[in-house]
Amino acid sequence: MSSIIGRNLLAGAEPDPAGDSGYGAGHPERVGFFTDTSVCIGCKACEVACKEWNAIPEDGLELTGMSYDNTQGLGADTWRHVAFIEQSKPLGQAQAGVDHSGVDVFALAAQSSETPSQTAAAAPATPGPPAADGRTELRWLMASDVCKHCTHAACLDVCPTGALFRTEFGTVVVQEDICNGCGYCVPACPYGVIDQRKEDGRVWKCTMCYDRLGAGQEPACAKACPTDSIQFGPLDELREKAKARVEQLHATGVTDARLYGESPDDGVGGDGAFFLLLDEPEVYGLPPAPVVTTRDLPSMWRHAGVAAATVLGGIATVFAAHGAQRKGLR
Ligand code: SF4
Ligand code: SF4
């Protein structure tokens, strides 16, 4: 274990979260997820595999009006969530130079559910410009979201019972039999991931299939993903792979490609589950610059200590002055 004396373990550089949590020098290397959204096809095999392996109850099959998204976001019963984002924006190189800015994607979606005669009646008099390669589809982004297994995990830092803990693989896991349902971790998570079940208030989230890791197997979602959009492995290797993939995409004209959560210098010390995105994080419902919510605790305690010392000093001075005054009167 590296020396932790005098270091701020709540923010900043943290090369070995498992070691600093007490695991010996021989602990396994840190593992994680690299989710490459550029090859996600929205099949939801990851959502299904996650539910099946972890025996997660169903959470309603609702028509949300948000494309093919029927779970809306991560929650106590949704540990993988596939977002569907429809955009009137050209694809990467495939549609360079084609302007879709005047296209109403929702009107087109409504048309597609109408009968042929209705569609013909509603067809615009002058159709929009065709794509350079003759295709008519619009850009459709899909991304499988998950707990980020943060390097500095505020959920874990604020948990009073030890239900949340850092594993030997550097991941963050919640033990439902120890959770007392206080809910402190819920507002602490900068990504809004961890969530309570209504029935008893206990919290649940992705464990990165801790039981499978212990048996030398990859998590169920990564195993099930048919396109390798979800890649699992040693975090350092995944970071290298991800950088190479971004360069490859840029070279082929997909200049929007960027990484999200891979940098150890970001506000949470880097995510154990990071992403390749094709647009701004906000488009996918991700915070643009997340910061671990416990980052300022050490300086807050320092300021509180200084304030308490000042108050005590003031009280002592008043008592001393009062005592001297009484002596003078005698
Ligand atoms: S994303 Fe939220 S729930 Fe997951 S480890 Fe980070 S703080 Fe905890
Ligand atoms: S299994 Fe893979 S391709 Fe299918 S939705 Fe999940 S991430 Fe996308």
Task: Say yes or no to pLDDT of 6 above 70.
Answer: no
In short, whether 44's Cβ falls inside 6 Å of ligand 2 is yes
In short, whether 80's Cβ falls inside 6 Å of ligand 2 is no
- CB under 8 Å to 262, separation ≥6 — which residues? 34, 239, 242, 270, 271, 274
Q: 220, 49 in Cβ contact below 8 A? A: yes
Average pLDDT along the chain: 85
pLDDT of 107: 67
Task: Say yes or no to pLDDT of 45 above 80.
Answer: yes
What are the tens digits of pLDDT across the range 195-236? 999 999 999 999 999 999 999 999 999 999 999 999 999 999
Quote the strand ranges of the chain, DSSP E: 31-36, 80-87, 139-146, 164-166, 172-174, 195-196, 203-204, 230-234, 258-260, 273-277
- CB under 8 Å to 89, separation ≥6 — which residues? 100, 138, 139, 279
Instruction: Using pLDDT thresholds of 50, 70 and 90, give the confidence band for residue 113.
Output: low
DSSP H or E segment with residue 265: none
In short, whether 222's Cβ falls inside 6 Å of ligand 2 is no
Q: Locate 108 and state its tokens.
A: 């087109």
Task: Say yes or no to pLDDT of 271 above 70.
Answer: yes
For atom 8 of ligand 2, which residue has the closest CA? 40
Spatial distance between the Cα atoms of 159 and 179, rounded to a whole number of angstroms: 9
Spatial distance between the Cα atoms of 76 and 318, rounded to a whole number of angstroms: 55
C-alpha R_g of the chain: 26
pLDDT of 149: 98
Give the residue-averaged pLDDT of 56-74: 87
Q: Locate 136 and state its tokens.
A: 């008519």
The ligand whose atoms approach the alpha carbon of 33 most closely is: 2
Task: Say yes or no to pLDDT of 248 above 60.
Answer: yes
